[in-house]
Amino acid sequence: MQNWLNKTEKFKSVAHKILRIHENSKSRIIALSSSYENLNILNIKQDDLFRQAFTCLERECFRASHVMAWAAFMDYIEEKLFEDKGKKLQGLRPLWKASSPEDIRENVNEYQIIDVLDLVGLCVKSEKKALHGLLNKRNECAHPSEYFPGLNDGLGYITELLNRINMLKKKTIK
């Protein structure tokens, strides 16, 4: 019985390798999620949100996948801003009265959160502009619009957010 299960798993793995090169194949999602599993820098909440984004892709809820992936990304950013216990952020934005990531989530809009990233040394101007663009794309998905992303758009969006998290992981607040 175990031999049969092993052969089935091997067949499934090979089939996904073949199918993921085809543009509309759901095997592309499986390939991306397996590479995502190598990221051990995410907390439980971020991990869950990205997994929900993948599930949305699998169910062809492409707009929802953008929203869920963005939520995971913003959680990472908000936590990252408090690596130094929020000292730099509080010095730059005392009116925010942010003593925790939760305070930022509740009281500061996401555009402003991205705006402060270059001031604390977590990104440069061009990266900040790209993040504003990703936020705008999320907004198109979260609110009524004429934008209807497909599988490739969702995969690209999630991949870009994960790549940006990997870049941010290497940076510290200055």
Tokens describing residue 164: 């940006």
Residue 3: inside a domain, yes or no? no
Give the span between the Cα atoms of 63 and 146, in whole angstroms: 11
pLDDT of res. 53: 93
Residue 50: inside a domain, yes or no? yes
pLDDT higher than threshold 60 for residue 4: yes
- Domain boundaries, position 49: 39-169
Q: For residue range 14-62, what is the model confidence (pLDDT) as tens digits?
A: 655 555 545 555 556 566 656 566 567 899 999 999 989 989 998 999 9
Are residues 165 and 76 in contact, defined by beta-carbon separation less than 8 angstroms?
Answer: yes
pLDDT higher than threshold 60 for residue 102: yes
The total domain count for the chain is 1
The Cβ-side half-sphere exposure at 124, using a 13 Å CA radius, reads 2
Q: For residue range 67-95, what is the model confidence (pLDDT) as tens digits?
A: 999 999 999 999 999 999 999 999 999 99
Put simply, whether the predicted model's pTM sits higher than 0.95 gets the answer no
